[in-house]
Amino acid sequence: MDTGLQSLLLCTDDKVVRVLRRVLSEMEIGIELCTDVDAAMQKLTRQRFEAVIVDCTSHGSAISVLKGVRSAPANRRAIAVAIVEAENSSGGHAAGKHVFSVGAHFVLFKPLSLERTRSSFRAVRALMKRERRRHARIPIELAVEVGLEGKGSWRANTSDLGENGMALKIQSMKLPASFPLQFSLPGSSRVISCTGEVAWQGNQLAGVRFSNISAEASDQLKQWIERQLLGEDAEEVTVCCKLTDLSLNACYLQTESPFPVRTRLRLMMKVGELGLQIEGIVRVMQSGAGMGVEFTQHTGMQKIKVEEFIQTLVNTEGAVPDLQVRPDSIDNSADSEWEIPPGSSDPLLSLFATKADVDSESFQIELKKQRGAEVEA
């Protein structure tokens, strides 16, 4: 089991602290409690946390801690959770929108209930674990074949391996800025081929970042990393979701534990013997209700597979698809205003773009209006 997940909590409200201590203890997440902003900012610069939780009602300057999460080198990938006043209060909804704009990934509304907090932290914990594994480095020596333009190939060994790259032992060798490389994981005969890009070089080592790696090879590498960290009984980082709406370019998932906007997901759907694997990014998130996901693969073959899946759902009476949803990463490069791809006439995608800021109840009404034309799973 993955242990050692740590959170920083800035809060002076005893009721909030009691609820969070209970929920996070159940989920094996440690809490470092701070009651003033300066102490919290100091800890952000000196310690690493997988999550930073800020009660924005505790201090007038608490919002500065949220803003400081991304600027702290050790914690720029931490999951940021903001606590604000009740959603139905005069300033609750506006406060929720504001904390999202300054970097919060999740918002909890006062008064905190045990069940709602548990639901939110299932998704928080899944992302904490996922982000930690994404940047883990496994010390290992593997043979790697490096392609050198006009000079054939050169064999090197790794000193460590991660999901996104490796460190190569290069002695006095000077590597080009990018090059093809191949390697196999222990216990597998399948060769992983991709492009390597030099991120740094020194002390007879080179940090190499992977690019142009296939989805299949990337999944194989992620699963291998998880097994090294967690053993053969690695816990799947998933949340419980129900597919309610599906189009060629998007879907809506009903869940009490939605992931935040800009979270990249891997979706595995199955109805009968037909399976569909697809990648997407969250465009709409409603706490305790669900999330709207845009598919990010737009190849002709991908659309044919989605269309086949839709037709199978339509033609199978009482079909309830099996669904697995796994977070991959939060895409912090996608901070700018999202726009529908040019030429798209997908009504579900249009709904995500035009109604993302409405309250959950109004959004669900709009979804129901569309279901005459969309597939309701």
pLDDT value for 333: 65
Residue 236 lies inside a defined structural domain of this protein:
no
Distance CA 128, CA 327 (A): 10
User: Do 267 and 296 lie in a common domain?
Assistant: yes
> Number of folded domains in the chain?
3
Residues in contact with 37: Cβ distance below 8 Å, sequence separation at least 6, in sequence order:
10, 59, 61, 62, 64, 65
What CATH number does the domain containing 91 carry? 3.40.50.2300
pLDDT value for 376: 47
Residues in contact with 80: Cβ distance below 8 Å, sequence separation at least 6, in sequence order:
51, 52, 54, 66, 69, 103, 104, 105, 106
Count Cβ atoms below 10 Å from residue 125 Cβ, excluding itself: 24
User: Do 338 and 268 lie in a common domain?
Assistant: yes
For residue 301, is pLDDT > 70?
Answer: yes
User: Do 287 and 352 lie in a common domain?
Assistant: yes
User: Do 67 and 151 lie in a common domain?
Assistant: no
User: Do 68 and 160 lie in a common domain?
Assistant: no
Residue 372 lies inside a defined structural domain of this protein:
yes
Distance CA 34, CA 215 (A): 42
pLDDT value for 55: 92
Distance CA 196, CA 182 (A): 9
Quick one: tokens of 62?
Answer: 């608490």
Last residue of a domain, one of 89, 119, 134: 134
The 10s digit of each residue's pLDDT in 318-330 is: 778 888 888 888 8
Q: Is residue 1 within 8 Å of 230, Cβ to Cβ? A: yes
Range of the domain at 317: 242-376
What CATH number does the domain containing 184 carry? 2.40.10.220
Last residue of a domain, one of 116, 134, 152: 134
The 10s digit of each residue's pLDDT in 53-82 is: 999 887 778 888 888 887 778 788 889 999
Q: The whole model's pTM is what?
A: 0.74
Residue 147 lies inside a defined structural domain of this protein:
yes
The 10s digit of each residue's pLDDT in 78-98 is: 899 999 887 665 555 566 678
pLDDT value for 156: 92
Residues of the chain with pLDDT > 70, as a percent, come to 89
What CATH number does the domain containing 367 carry? 2.40.10
Residue 237 lies inside a defined structural domain of this protein:
no
What are the DSSP calls for 21-42, one per residue?
HHHHHHTTEEEEEESSHHHHHH
